[in-house]
A and B are shown apart, each in its own frame.
Chain A
Amino acid sequence: MIRIANGQGFWGDWLEAPVRLIEQGPIDYLILDYLAEVTMSILQKQKAADPKLGYARDFPPLMARIAKLQKERNVKVIANAGGVNPVACAEEVRRVAPALKVAIVLGDDVFGRIDDFLGDGLAMRNMDTGAPLITIRDRILSANAYIGAFPLAEALATGADVVIAGRCTDTALALAPMIHRYGWKPDDWNLLAAGTIAGHIVECGAQCTGGNCQVDWQSIPDLANVGYPIIEAEPDGVFSITKHPGTGGRVTVDTIKEQLLYELGDPKNYITPDCTADFTTIHLVDAGPDRVRVTGIQGGPRTESLKLSISYSYGWKAIGTLVYTAPQALEKARAADQIVRRRLLQLGLAFDEIYTEFFGVNACHGPVAVPVDDPPEIQLRIGVRGQEKKPIDRFTRELIPLVLNGPPTATGFGEGRPPVREVVAFWPALIPRDRIQTTVEVVE
């Protein structure tokens, strides 16, 4: 049995989690997921400004913090912290933690190959809209292929203490050590599906150990010290999910079911670079305190395509807010919204969208929200989005004047006018698998 712990569900997750995982009990592998779809574009910009950047900058300090214990306990770290610059990430880890042997996985970054692909007749159509990539060619900010677990397993085989990848799938981080240790083959579909589903369960960190859990949430113990998830994986594809004894949170069939359903599409056809996994074959059993055993998982062949994660510059947006109080808080906020819209119209400003929410009434649940009668306070929240920056900037000056020249009792303007933010959009597309070749390098 091997123990694979996930200490980071996204870049910005709890900094203490990975440290506690390594300090508070036995683990063999520590996996860390840093990349969201839009993160790649931010990293690509950082790299353009400074060729030494473009990776998850929280990662090297973490390695410095845990290096000693990691060596003592022979824990291997697998992280997609490399972003668009795994080489620079590895060099920084080596600089701050020289005792660690580092391997990197390269080949996912296709930012420089897009024109070659287009020239070869690959349309890379948007999987949601069907539009060909050529329509946004000059606005592309980053382009990466999602790679699977086998290149990561190859990197583990070098004996590295730390494996750094770029855009691998979240589930590959968990599956890779199983492939490495148990010698699973590229067509062991049921085993690969089991490891993939184990990865799906832990990929959001504490969201399977009591975080964001709706079942009897008030009784979930000590979320302040919540334990992050650990997979206990066996060679035959059976695994358990647990957490270190004495940590907060809860692992039950209910907490695992909730996470299994998270961001799920067609449950019979969960596609990764490694296999397709069938979520309707999962069998869960409570196997003791904070322990769930998972059996029965079946899978099928991998697809002939890999998914590309492309980001491009879409335009600009800004969201402004004001607070109105009772009596008639909602009526005041509605009136203010109408005034803003009329003023924008009179200025002749065009937007792709103007969207208003009344926070405290219906912002999150819209027409499904519980009706409220004259709430004590409401936040008016108006957002605009468009291709040109100038109208968005002008909009940001239209809210604060309402404090003096609109409906009564407006406040909450202390932050000043809202920032104008660049909108980087995501373009999902497919590419034939044989166009992506990965390599592994050891950084000495």
Chain B
Amino acid sequence: MPMRRFLSFRDFDWGLLGVILVLCTVSVLEIYSATLHTKFLGFHQRQILWISGGMVVMFALSRVDYHRLLDFAPWAYGVFLVLVAAVLVPGIGHKALGGRRWIKLGPILFQPSEWMKLILILMVARYFANLGGKRLTWPDIFKAFAMVGIPMLLVLKEPDLGTALTFAPILVAGLFLGGINLRQGLILIVAGIALIGGVWSSGKLLKPYQKARLTSFINPQDDPRGSGYQVLQSKIAVGSGGIWGKGAAKGTQTQGYFLPIPYTDFIFAAFSEEHGFVGAVFVLLLYFFILMRLIQNAQTAADLPGSLIIMGVVAVLTFQIMVNVGMVIGFMPVTGIPLPLMSYGGSSVLFTFLALGVAMNVRMRRFVN
């Protein structure tokens, strides 16, 4: 048993929390601006509630030793694997927005796939920590693939492409940091490309609209009203913002409903339109600071599982930021991945704060062991 030693909130990463709160403030203001003339006015207040709730669970989670979380992880993994599968059963899964992703628990909707993300971070950290930095054998690699792949396929089936894709960087980070060698890495990359090609052409795993969303970003003008419309309008919003932006609540793309869902997935486009290149780079700098700070925490972590947990969080956040901002500026297809700490939405906010809570947890215990 680990020794109970002095644990202090002085070791909590207050600087990181400060930057996170700056980003949350930007988020609330932009949600307000983007919903100003819509029936969604008031979402910014709900976002404040979500953030407050997120902070509470973050502090709560940081109190629990992450080693206990790692002990607990396999059980949670088993339960949530069942829940993610259960979502697909029509009687249990609640259908909304074209996907069967939720389980209804009384008045609240509960999305098991979001929790699965957090559990996978812990599971992957635990798995590779147990391997202890030894050379990975192929069976080791396949076990890791199965661990992440099974829930991923289930979530893809919901269908929820965005969340399913978010599972992938956890595995990639685990494999990279867990000691995969160059040859194995190359073989996996080639196999991955072949697999993606197979999935694409089989036409079974991906719904047609998902495929369309993935391709239309390459040439949005082909179908300006369909999937490409969103990418085109997003690029127009970002581009027309110029260097200084059009001013808060003055974005014509945002205020004229040309920009799709400007308070969730396309909030970065709305922000870039109204605050320009300067504002957009400022937000990216905040993210850069957060990610660098987390990696620094991973470096100073007390042990290997702690480092791996933080790097899992870094992997998910980095992936989400890259894919979301990449989508907004036309580099990436529309996948429905929200921008962490910016996009409106309870699930996204709660997951991000939980993930950050786990990372804080590790940092606070850097002197413990």
Chain A bound to chain B: no
Interface residues of B (CB under 8 A from A): none
A residues adjacent to B (C-beta < 8 A)? none
